[in-house]
Chains A and B, each alone.
Chain A
Amino acid sequence: MLHIINKSPYDRPALDSALATGEGAILLIEDGVYAAAKGGKEEAKIKAAMGKFKFYALSQDLEARGIADRVADGVTAVDYAGFVDLVAEYKTNQSWL
């Protein structure tokens, strides 16, 4: 399943909820991209989950927040076309609102 996270990990537990499902892909969008910041508090959590999840972050939202050039290792930046491809690739998706 593709999990879509649009909330900052410092605001809501959406990322933790997605990680608790066990495996899949996680796409960070909007304020959700703060989780992908290198050196951030969530970096270790993402690193630890890398064996079970693939991580993506929406490049436009990374750029808007000034963190496009310091994305945590293992997180792939995708544009809106890549967002569409991910939704098409995974049979199911869940927006953790």
Chain B
Amino acid sequence: MKFAILVNEGPYTHQASDTAFQFAKAVLAKGHEIFRVFFYHDGVNNATRLTTPPQDDRNIVNRWSKLAEEHNLDMVVCVAAAQRRGIVDDGEMKRNGKDATNLAPGFRISGLGQLIEAGIQADRLVVFGD
């Protein structure tokens, strides 16, 4: 079965980002496919590579990147939510005249249409948020 996952909450906020990650792992462990993970609202903060949590804490961002690499996941960050919160890739840096990028590996910035497409293409869409 094809799953899509929507993450609306930032890392280290309440629990939604952690639950979404554990759910994604369980989906893959069960042999299902993840069509896309879409990060929206404060969820886009899961995609900054500049976080430095204490060494004895989980690294939520790196954990997503690793999962994406291992399973070739499509992890999409909403562009409008990213612009508001300072999540920047090369294209956004040039377009908006910024002096740096911070998008973590495995993520890409795109539009809300990607969420709609995931809702259409996947058999199930599960929402995690605050």
Contact = CB atoms under 8 A, between A and B. Distances in A.
Given A30-B15, A81-B29, A97-B8, A4 B22 contact: no
Contacts of A6: 15-16, 19, 128
B1 A95 contact: no
Main secondary structure of the interface of B (DSSP, over half): mixed
Interface in B1-37: 1, 3, 8, 14-16, 19, 22-23, 25-27, 29-30, 32
A83 B23 contact: yes
Interface in B105-130: 123-124, 126-130
Given A80-B26, A81-B26, A4 B32 contact: no
Interface in A79-97: 79-81, 83-85, 87-88, 93, 95, 97
B14 to A, nearest CB: 7
Interface in B27-85: 27, 29-30, 32
Given A30-B14, A80-B25, A81-B26, A87 B19 contact: no
Interface residues of A, number: 18
Given A6-B15, A84-B32, A95 B126 contact: yes
A84 B127 contact: no
A88 B29 contact: no
Contact of B129 (A80, A83, A85, A95): A95
B124 A60 contact: no
Given A80-B25, A87-B124, A95-B128, 10 more contacts: A4-B126, A6-B16, A30-B14, A61-B15, A80-B22, A84-B30, A93-B124, A93-B126, A95-B126, A97-B8
Interface of A: 4, 6, 29-31, 60-61, 79-81, 83-85, 87-88, 93, 95, 97
7 contacts: A4-B127, A31-B14, A61-B15, A80-B26, A83-B23, A88-B124, A97-B130
Interface of B: 1, 3, 8, 14-16, 19, 22-23, 25-27, 29-30, 32, 123-124, 126-130
